[in-house]
Structure 1
């Protein structure tokens, strides 16, 4: 007799998605391995939100590569407050503002901000290798860059105040995205042209999402970001009026398999 899995068309679809389909059953319940996998994924997602990012370690590694950095704090003093008060994660603390005031105020072309966001795991895994691709490209283009700003308990809009301080026309924020059960370490990039505190809104930003080992690659994300930067400088805008017209030149292996919709 044929294996029951071969008779279930759902099993052939599992190769196309990380979604939890074709889990099987044991009586009226899920099999033990499916329950354990769910509990592990849930634990990893919770850890991504709650385990603090090692900012000192990240700063040390970046400094060793020759990059100047500043560690800044938002008005969300701890993780609990950060989760309960999103507004405080958009505002710099008094100490962070004072720290910025002691740095050079020359007009800069772009600021790069790294914030832990809702997944410290994402920044721990992906921020440094992506910066190693991004920063040389920005320097090659001749952009004047202030120190990298590493922001504790930061939301996306925290980049606005930093960009305003440095009078920078381009603001690039790397941030940990809300973890899912199949992607606890997804990093996002938010790009804003002429970001200013209290003026910029989410409609003024472009988002490049889902950057992780099973999602968008670093080079794909860099290609999209550089396209947006070049286009924004020509149009002098960002956000909903700036469209990403790039195509993926490095498709993931799982996407190169036969399309079951065409079979």
Structure 2
């Protein structure tokens, strides 16, 4: 039996803490009209995010303004319909892009960043450049991890970063990509980290920092987690199930130091 001295918080309080659909109320056997209209609007925004055009040239220009070496590439998906119906094509570079990247790969690098449209170009337009701005100083703080190349990829799935990283000779690749839109977050960005990238890597070999958006993970929080995982992943020479995100609990080891016995 509950203690009568402890005041109960009404369920409606939850609506001030989360954009999730809670405490919608009801009208007869259905939801109120305003809740139905909100759902319809959010569903439309999610569909628009999936089909939005990807402005790769603008991203390339903005990233070069940060002093980064940036190249453009695309997957084998010929158009958006192809991309949605054939996920496998979004995981493979087209021949021209592969040749272009091979020519630009002058020497191996510690880290490459791939920025792909994924399932929400809107997320990439809104957050990718700002996240990179916050990430650069955090990577430089401890061990001076330098970004060798940045590739803006159209028609990209997460695994496209594996082929790009392998061509560039990167020890690790970070893929920033638009996540599948939700009804409360059509512009959520995700970051996927893979050590020793190459075609055929599985999701079990990656780390993910997700829900980077206005009502989710902030740029500072996301950049801190990504930088920690990059440094720790290079130190351990592993990502995925072999690398647990303990960024909130301890400082990263310096790259090249041995793990404790």
- TM class by shorter chain equals 0.7 to 0.9
Question: Could you say which residue in structure 1 is the equivalent of 2:190?
Answer: 188
**Is residue 73 from structure 1 mapped to residue 74 from structure 2 by the alignment?**
yes
Question: Equivalents in 1 of 2:156, 2:62: separation in Å?
Answer: 20
Partner of 2:135: 134
List alignment gaps of at least 5 residues for structure 2. 1-7, 250-261
Whether contact under 8 Å (1:187, 1:211) holds in the other structure is yes
The equivalent residue for 2:177 is: 175
Give 1:120 shift: 0.7
The aligned residue for residue 33 of structure 1 is 34
1:1-20 CA deviation, whole Å, 9 max, x = no partner? xxxxxx99332332233221
Q: CA separation in 2, counterparts of 1:122 and 1:16?
A: 22
Match of 2:44 in 1: 43
Deviation string, structure 1 residues 4-62 (Cα, Å, up to 9, x no partner): xxx99332332233221222233333222111111110011001100112111111222
CA contact (8 A) 2:105 2:167 kept: no
Which one of the candidate residues 153, 156, 178 is aligned to 2:155?
153
Aligned-pair CA distance for 1:228: 1.2
CA distance in 2, matches of 1:72, 1:195: 17
Match for residue 238 of structure 1? 239
Change (3 A) 1:234 1:146: closer
CA distance in 2, matches of 1:231, 1:214: 28
Q: Secondary structure at the match of 1:38?
A: helix
CA distance in 1, matches of 2:174, 2:9: 46
Deviation at 1:107, TM superposition (A): 1.2
Secondary structure (helix, strand or coil) at the match of 1:77 reads coil
Number of aligned positions between the proteins: 241
TM-score normalised per structure 1: 0.86
Structure 1 residue ranges (4+ consecutive) displaced by more than 4 angstroms after TM superposition: none
> Are residues 8 and 216 of structure 1, via their aligned partners in 2, closer, same or farther at CA, if it must alter by over 3 Å?
closer
Residue 142 of structure 1, CA deviation: 3.6
Report the TM-score when normalising by structure 2.
Answer: 0.86
Secondary structure of 2:49 counterpart: helix
Quote the Cα distance in structure 2 between the aligned partners of 1:166 and 1:157. Answer: 15
State the partner residue of 1:19. 20
CA distance in 2, matches of 1:104, 1:142: 21
Q: Name the CA distance, whole Å, in 2 between partners of 1:16 and 1:64.
A: 37
**Post-superposition shift, 1:230?**
2.0
In structure 2, distance between residues paired with 1:62 and 1:77: 25
Residue 216 of structure 1 aligns with which residue?
A: 217
- Once residues 9 and 232 of structure 2 are traced to their aligned partners in structure 1, the CA distance between those partners, rounded to angstroms, is 48
**Structure 1: segments with no counterpart, 5+ residues:** 1-6, 249-263
Q: Secondary structure at the match of 2:214?
A: coil
Q: Distance in 1 between matches of 2:13 and 2:199?
A: 50
Counterpart contact for 2:70–2:150, Cα < 8 Å: yes
Question: Shift of the alpha carbon at 1:101?
Answer: 2.3
CA shift, 1:192, in A, is: 0.9
Contact 2:123-2:186 at 8 Å conserved across structures: yes
SS of 1:240's equivalent in the other structure is helix
Cα distance change, pair 32–143 in 1 and its aligned pair in 2 (3 A): same
> Partners in 1 of 2:128 and 2:198 — Cα distance?
24
Moved more, 144-153 or 121-130: 144-153
